[in-house]
Homo-oligomer: A and B are copies of this chain.
Amino acid sequence: DHIIVCGYGRNGNQAVSKLLAYNKNFVVIDHDEKVLEPLYDSGMLYINGNATEDEVLKEAGIERASTLMCTLPGDADNVFIVLSAKQLNEKLKIISRATKESTTYKLKLAGADNVIMPDKIGGDHMASLVVTPDLVEFLGHLSVSRQEGSINIEEMDFDHICTDGQEHAIKELDLRKKTGCTVIGYRAPDGNYSVNPDPDMIIRKNSKLIFIGKPEQIEKLKQTYKD
C-alpha cells in the first residue's frame, strides 16, 4: 500500500517532500545514480534503475503498491511506464506528468487517472498574478498542507459530523459556534460539489463538508469531531 515515484528530478523531488510531510510510504526510482545521492543516508527507500523495465517496477513492489507517480521529463517514457504498470497492477492509481498537450490523451488511454502539465499550471499561475493578484495572494495564504505546521482547509465525513448517524441541516449543527470554522463546500454522495452550501442544506450519509478556518480553529474542529 505504498507509492512509487518514478523520477527524482525537480518534479519528483517536490512531490517527495510533500509525501514525506504527510508520512506516506514511498519508494523512489531513478536511473541516475547522482540525483539519488541525497537519499543515501535519509532512510528513504530508492532504487537505482530504469522504471521503463518491468523488473525494476516489480522490485519497487508494483504488485502491492497503491499509487504510481510518473515524473520523468520524457513523455514517451511516462506513457511506457504507465502502460507497463497498469499491466502489472490493474488497481493502481496512476498520476503522470506530461509535457505536450497531445500526450495527455495517450496517458489516459494507457491508464493514467490524472495527468499534470507543469508548464500549463505555471503559465496559468503567472497570468493569475496579473489578472487576479489579490486572489492569488489570498489563496497563497491558505495552507492545505500539514507541511507548514498550519492548515486552513479541512474536510470532514458525515460520520464524524453527524455523530448520531442522522441526517441534519448544516445550520442545526452550530459548527461555527462550536469550532469557529466556516463551511465552504459540500461533497454529495454522488461526488458532486456545492460551493458555499446553503445553511438549510441537509448533510446526507456518505457526504462530506469542507471547512475553512484559522489553524487553531481547524484543530478545534478535528478535536471536536474526530477524536
Contact = CB atoms under 8 A, between A and B. Distances in A.
How many identical subunits does the complex contain? Answer: 2
A216 to B, nearest CB: 11
B120 A10 contact: yes
B212 A195 contact: yes
A117 B122 contact: yes
Contacts of A100: 10
A42 B208 CA distance: 45
17 contacts: A10-B101, A11-B123, A11-B126, A14-B119, A69-B127, A93-B130, A95-B130, A97-B126, A114-B126, A114-B129, A118-B122, A138-B153, A141-B193, A180-B196, A181-B196, A184-B184, A195-B214
Interface of A: 3, 9-19, 21-22, 24, 67, 69, 71, 93, 95, 97, 99-101, 114, 116-132, 134-135, 137-139, 141-142, 144-145, 152-155, 180-182, 184-185, 187, 193-196, 208, 210, 212-214, 217
